[in-house]
Amino acid sequence: MARFNMLKSSAIMVLCFCALAALTGTTNLHAGDVPVIDITAKRFAFAPDKITLAKGKTVKLRIHSEDVTHGFFLRPLKLDEEIPAGQTIEVTVTPQEAGTFTTICDHFCGANHGNMNMTIAVE
C-alpha cells in the first residue's frame, strides 16, 4: 500500500510539472535552439555592417550600444528598438519576406548619424 501511495504521489508530481511547463511555455526548448547574432552600435556604425537571415527562421539579435543611445529601425521586419547608452537589448525576429533591407539608427547620435546603417539580407 505504501508503494502504491508513493507511485501515486510521483505521478501527481509529474503531471504538475507538465502542466506548469505547458502554462509557462517552457516545454522542451533550450536556450541554444534560437541562434543569436551579436551586433554592436557605436558612433556611427553597426558592426557587423551586414547580416544574412533565413526567411521563416527565428533568430535573436543581441544589440549593444558602446557609447550613446542608438536606434535600430527597419519597417519590413517590424524592428523599432532603442538601445540605451552602454546597455544591451535582445529582440527576436522571424523574417517572412525575402530581400535586402537597410536598418538605420533613428536616434540622433551625432554629426554622422545619417550614415549609421546596416544591411540585413533575408534569403
Give per-residue pLDDT as tens, 35-63: 999 999 999 999 999 999 999 999 999 99
This prediction's pTM? 0.72
pLDDT band at 18 (very low <50, low <70, confident <90, very high): very low
Per-residue cell: 120 = 540585413
Query: Contact 106/74 with Cβ under 8 angstroms?
Result: no
CATH code assigned at 57: 2.60.40.420
Question: Which residues are within 8 A (CB) of 34 and not within 5 positions of it... i.e. 6 or more apart?
Answer: 58, 59, 60, 92
List pLDDT tens digits, range 63-122. Answer: 999 999 999 999 999 999 999 999 999 999 999 999 999 999 999 988 888 899 999 999
Biggest CA-to-CA distance, the chain: 79
Q: Which domain holds residue 71?
A: 32-122
Q: Is residue 36 part of a domain?
A: yes
C-alpha of 43 from chain center: 22
Q: Are 107 and 71 within 8 A, CB to CB? A: yes
